[in-house]
């Protein structure tokens, strides 16, 4: 007795997002320079550094970010810098939009 193989699921309509768990679904990509970026895309922000309540803050005129990590120790209050980092939770007590784990400062 011959059996018929199970029918494949129909393709999603054009423009529809692939199903979760679908092997054809695009995989998250990382920045080749910083492979740990799988947690999300890196963020680049330019602004002026201030220090408030023990928090090193980068203010770009729209948002304020708490700068975290070893690289954040090298920025000087009052300087205008461009910071590349990974979004993270801001420390308690810092009045900011969010935290940035700093990867580079220029």
Segment 39-62, tens digit of pLDDT:
689 999 999 999 998 999 999 999
Segment 19-43, tens digit of pLDDT:
545 455 454 455 555 555 446 899 9
Q: Are 40 and 81 in contact (CB under 8 A)?
A: no
Residue 62 lies in a domain: yes
Segment 88-101, tens digit of pLDDT:
999 999 999 999 99
Residue range(s) defining the domain that contains residue 47: 35-105
Residue 59 lies in a domain: yes
Residue 83 lies in a domain: yes
Residue 15 lies in a domain: no
List, in order, residues 6 or more apart from 47 with CB less than 8 Å away. Answer: 58, 59, 60, 61, 65, 80, 81, 83
Residue 70 lies in a domain: yes
Domain CATH for 86: 2.40.50
- Please give the angle made by the CA atoms of 75, 62 and 57, to the nearest 5 degrees: 25
Other beta carbons within 10 angstroms of residue 72's beta carbon come to 20
Per the structure, how many domains does the chain have?
Answer: 1
Residue 13 lies in a domain: no
Residue 82 lies in a domain: yes
The pTM (predicted TM-score) of the whole model is 0.63
Whole-number CA gyration radius for the chain: 22
Residue 28 lies in a domain: no
């Amino acid at each position: 007795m011959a059996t018929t193989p199970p029918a494949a699921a129909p393709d999603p309509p054009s423009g529809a997002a692939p199903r979760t768990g679908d092997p054809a679904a695009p995989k998250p990509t990382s920045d080749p320079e910083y492979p740990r970026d799988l947690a999300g895309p890196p963020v680049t922000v330019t602004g002026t550094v201030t220090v408030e309540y023990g928090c090193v803050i980068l203010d770009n005129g729209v948002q304020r970010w708490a700068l975290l990590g070893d690289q954040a120790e090298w920025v000087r209050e009052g300087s205008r810098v461009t910071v590349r980092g990974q979004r993270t939770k801001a420390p308690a007590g810092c009045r900011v939009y969010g935290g940035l784990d700093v990867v580079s400062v220029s």
